[in-house]
Structure 1
Amino acid sequence: MIRIEDVSITLGENEVLDGVSASIDEGRFVGLVGPNGAGKTTLLRATNGVLSPDSGRVVVDDDAIADLSSKAASRRVATVPQDTSLSFDFDVRNVVAMGRNPYRTRFGSEIGAKPAGSDGFGGERGTDVVERAMDRTEVSAFADRSITEVSGGERQRVLLARALAQDTPVLLLDEPTASLDINHQVRTFELVRELVADGKTVVAAIHDLNLAAHYCDELLLLADGSVLADGTPTEVLAEETLREAFDTRAVVSRHPVTGSTYVTALPERTAGTDGNGDREDDGSGRVHVIGGGGTVSRLLYLLSAAGHEVSVGVLNEGDSDLETARHLGLETVAEEPFAPIGPEARTAVERRIREADVTVLADVEIGTGNVANLDAAAEAESVVVVEERPFEDRNYAGSEAAVRYRSLRERGTVVSPDDLLSAVADAV
């Protein structure tokens, strides 16, 4: 559907794009990602024909977009810009109806218009397209309000509705969720996925790598005006590639709920030496992690990448968390498959907890076989409790386990997984 062929664009004295090439198949959702200034918006403007490349070309459905008239290009490609400001005072319905302009003749009728009720590009069909676009973007409720009286997030959805009313095979989105709350971010991307399922080709500049990884079929990573990587989210969002593109440390793992690639940016460690040549404290410490059943694999990646000395256990052989810990080269305390925690393993884990600066208790299910982990955690000087589910939903060891957990929770710091690193840093 789209071929970007060796496109270079200079704006002023700045070469924004330098020999960019890519191919996008019909019915795919492709995310443009990369640092600010990488050229994402410029590439979108070249794709919709607003900018003509200094060299190279963009081909949409077998025609160079720059060779098409403005109206012909607008029947191929619709765009939702990042800037949602509008200087005119029309109501929302009329703004959405502007998406039908590429189909109108200079006399006001739509191309191919037929009598009302018949199947054509004009007549009732144009009106139906507008109403359907408003319904899908949930702006019908304020269709009669002035565009100047709606919020920034509502205006973003109105412009998306206008693009849908344009009824094009290609949809371009420039930071489509920048003005939206998390609820409408998810709704917007779910709607985009529906459009792609219906056959539309979508290219979106997205700053949130995790949203891009979850919703996009493919990613195109731009850096310094060139394509640094392209492919599936798993292929593109590799730790070394992200360091090269964004100049930052990041841990790439798999989200425990969605299963999609998940990126967590880490602060740079600032280890150095003091005046005596001794190594200064860089904020890292010894951390023991209690988990199991896949509840801590991502946390182990984060803690290890943040520079902490991490141990984990007691875990049964065959547990995915144990496999992750061994893959990372972490110190582990293990027990036989399906066996309860025995005296030797309990002694070993209690020693590691006493030696640790902080113990992390994950959102793990507790049964009679591993309830001894809660008793061992009582030896901890400092406890961080990672909680996503109420304990009663994962307690299979009875009321005594609930009492032990409540005690740990009351004297510890309770956090979500996203707040783990800051809580551990504070504890250390």
Structure 2
Amino acid sequence: MSRRNGSGETGKDAAIRVDDLVVELGGVSVLDGVDATVERGTFVGLVGPNGAGKSTLLRSVSGLLRPARGSIVVDGVSIAGRSSKAVSRLVATVPQNTSLSFDFDVRETVAMGRSPHLGRFERFGDDDERAVSEAMARTDVSQFADRSVTAVSGGERQRVLLARALAQDAPVLLLDEPTASLDINHQVRTLELVRDLVASGKTVVAAIHDLNLAAHYCDELLLLGDGQVLASGDPESVLTEANLETAFDANAVVSRHPVTGSVYVTALPENHRGDREGRVHVVGGGGSAARLLYLLDAAGYDVSVGALNEGDSDTETARSLGLDTVTVPPFAAVDAETQTAVESRVRDADVTVVADVEIGDGNRANLDAVRAARSLVLVEERPFAERNYAGAAAAETYAELRERATVVSPSRVVGAVAAAVDEAQNPTDAGRNSDATRSAQSSQSSHSSHSSQSSQSSRSSDHRS
């Protein structure tokens, strides 16, 4: 999706063109001068805080709201003054609320999508039956055909309503928060289905509250705030820390997801707005620490990292953030002098964080240096046995460290570091609860590690030898 330029020109293959759109509800301007273009065959996500105007924009494009000013053109046709049935042949909508009060069966519900194509007394024909059957097969709801639509689960009902929209056979599909009430499995299943529809030529615009899902699945994003377009374009250009602060008033860290490579957003709590003081040393390598470095730097800590090889992706991340970085040459082992340098930073730090890094003979000295830590946080996504390439000695050292560490999943690192720094700086007040906190976090992480043993990690390490 892109904003229109000053001359009013748009892409020749536009599925939707919105020009100077103003929508007022109850005398209040909800959308104020919105210009946007959606190209055919793209998946565009509408993102922004609650009240930004996402649902209002979708309702305007579907013809449910009449703008106070501006124009909307869908598939080359202006929707102004057109009947609801005429607009419904251009735009199909899946609402946010999937609850249905009527007791029709699933096939009858999907068949309602053919209404815009039928005259008042016109009966279903072969084309209509085919459209309904194909829509149900595409959304995998054929097995529920005779079941009451009120008896299927929330995720199944979402697919039924999507099937109804597909049966409508409109060139544009609008989704209002399609994943809001679904568990993660149905969220992914729904958005994977939408991606398949886009790949087959459908144009989709969806209001999505989850920024990370939007970044992963959408081709482009439109960021709304206070009824105006704040940014538009590919996810990387829209989901910047500056844009997120403007739109959400949030202190957010934007990085890359280590598995998917998509833009990934983490919002930090208010009390992490850079007002903390504390020193943190991070041990990582092979990309295992990159996200942690972003988070801890954004949280306002004085962060050091190492030892790392020159050319390591964690080294590049640390340099981009201007962090104190201990390095050795590419593919070189951590020697005694470098280990001493790491130990010095570990002793100076309020807390040392060890990422879910693979350990080989080349970087085993980092574990030995960590013994000097006053307070220790271990990040575990995999059992150490799955990433230990340095033998029994390394396993023994790690087990020793784990006995006195707070063990957490990646999502809990900032909280664990905050607690450790508070304890280091205010030992009388914070120390009372530290043992209980460490025990609870270690138990949680141990459970996570145990349940992840069946999965294989693809992360590689520059230190493995």
TM-score (norm 1): 0.91
Q: Relative to 1, partners in 2 of residues 1:247 and 1:197: Cα closer, same or farther, differing over 3 Å?
A: same
3-state DSSP of counterpart to 1:339: coil
Work out whether residues 78 and 166 of structure 1, in 8 Å CA contact, stay in contact via their aligned partners in 2. yes
Structure 2 CA distance for aligned equivalents of residues 169 and 206 of structure 1: 20
What's the CA shift for 1:410? 3.5
Among 175, 182, 191, the alignment partner of 2:193 is 191
Partner of 2:118: 104
Among 316, 319, 322, the alignment partner of 1:329 is 322
Residues 13-412 of structure 1 aligned to structure 2 (within 5 Å): 13-110=27-124, 122-123=125-126, 125-269=127-271, 282-412=275-405
Aligned residue identity for 2:265? V
Aligned residue identity for 1:308? Y
3-state DSSP of counterpart to 2:343: helix
Structure 2 CA distance for aligned equivalents of residues 157 and 28 of structure 1: 20
Gaps spanning 5+ residues in structure 1: where? 111-121, 272-280
What's the CA shift for 1:73? 1.3
**Length, aligned pairs only:** 407
The runs of 4+ residues in structure 1 deviating greater than 6 Å are none
Structure 1 CA distance for aligned equivalents of residues 365 and 417 of structure 2: 23
Q: CA-to-partner distance for each residue in 1:79-118, whole Å, 9 max, x for gaps?
A: 00111222211112211111111122222324xxxxxxxx
Work out whether residues 297 and 321 of structure 1, in 8 Å CA contact, stay in contact via their aligned partners in 2. yes
Work out whether residues 96 and 134 of structure 1, in 8 Å CA contact, stay in contact via their aligned partners in 2. yes
Structure 1 CA distance for aligned equivalents of residues 393 and 322 of structure 2: 34
Aligned residue identity for 2:139? T
Structure 2 CA distance for aligned equivalents of residues 256 and 267 of structure 1: 22
Work out whether residues 314 and 345 of structure 1, in 8 Å CA contact, stay in contact via their aligned partners in 2. yes
What's the CA shift for 1:283? 4.5
Q: CA-to-partner distance for each residue in 1:269-312, whole Å, 9 max, x for gaps?
A: 479xxxxxxxxx95442111000111111210110000111110
Work out whether residues 316 and 337 of structure 1, in 8 Å CA contact, stay in contact via their aligned partners in 2. yes
Partner of 1:7: 21
Partner of 2:444: none
Structure 1 CA distance for aligned equivalents of residues 48 and 233 of structure 2: 14
What's the CA shift for 1:155? 2.1
Q: CA-to-partner distance for each residue in 1:230-279, whole Å, 9 max, x for gaps?
A: 111111111111111111111111111111111110123479xxxxxxxx
What's the CA shift for 1:67? 3.3
Structure 2 CA distance for aligned equivalents of residues 185 and 408 of structure 1: 39
Q: Which moved more, 1:19-28 or 1:140-149?
A: 140-149
Q: What is the identity percentage for the equivalent residue pairs of Structure 1 and Structure 2? A: 69
Structure 1 CA distance for aligned equivalents of residues 170 and 404 of structure 2: 58
Structure 2 CA distance for aligned equivalents of residues 426 and 288 of structure 1: 15
What's the CA shift for 1:393? 2.6
Q: Relative to 1, partners in 2 of residues 1:382 and 1:136: Cα closer, same or farther, differing over 3 Å?
A: farther
3-state DSSP of counterpart to 1:148: coil
Structure 1 CA distance for aligned equivalents of residues 169 and 181 of structure 2: 24
Structure 1 CA distance for aligned equivalents of residues 272 and 171 of structure 2: 50
Structure 2 CA distance for aligned equivalents of residues 155 and 70 of structure 1: 24
Aligned residue identity for 2:94? V
Aligned residue identity for 1:6? D
Q: Relative to 1, partners in 2 of residues 1:341 and 1:141: Cα closer, same or farther, differing over 3 Å?
A: same
Partner of 2:457: none
Work out whether residues 333 and 361 of structure 2, in 8 Å CA contact, stay in contact via their aligned partners in 1. yes
Aligned residue identity for 2:154? G
3-state DSSP of counterpart to 1:147: coil
Aligned residue identity for 1:79? T
Structure 1 CA distance for aligned equivalents of residues 65 and 80 of structure 2: 8
Work out whether residues 288 and 356 of structure 1, in 8 Å CA contact, stay in contact via their aligned partners in 2. yes
Q: Which moved more, 1:320-329 or 1:143-152?
A: 143-152
Q: Which moved more, 1:52-61 or 1:97-106?
A: 97-106
Q: Relative to 1, partners in 2 of residues 1:313 and 1:270: Cα closer, same or farther, differing over 3 Å?
A: closer
Work out whether residues 284 and 306 of structure 1, in 8 Å CA contact, stay in contact via their aligned partners in 2. no
What's the CA shift for 1:182? 0.2
Structure 2 CA distance for aligned equivalents of residues 71 and 287 of structure 1: 62
Structure 1 CA distance for aligned equivalents of residues 133 and 240 of structure 2: 42
Q: Which moved more, 1:53-62 or 1:318-327?
A: 318-327
Work out whether residues 47 and 207 of structure 2, in 8 Å CA contact, stay in contact via their aligned partners in 1. yes
Structure 1 CA distance for aligned equivalents of residues 191 and 268 of structure 2: 26
Structure 1 CA distance for aligned equivalents of residues 250 and 281 of structure 2: 26
3-state DSSP of counterpart to 1:373: helix
Structure 2 CA distance for aligned equivalents of residues 65 and 253 of structure 1: 40
3-state DSSP of counterpart to 2:150: helix
> RMSD across aligned C-alpha pairs, in angstroms?
1.7
Q: CA-to-partner distance for each residue in 1:164-213, whole Å, 9 max, x for gaps?
A: 11121110000001111101111111111111110100000001111111
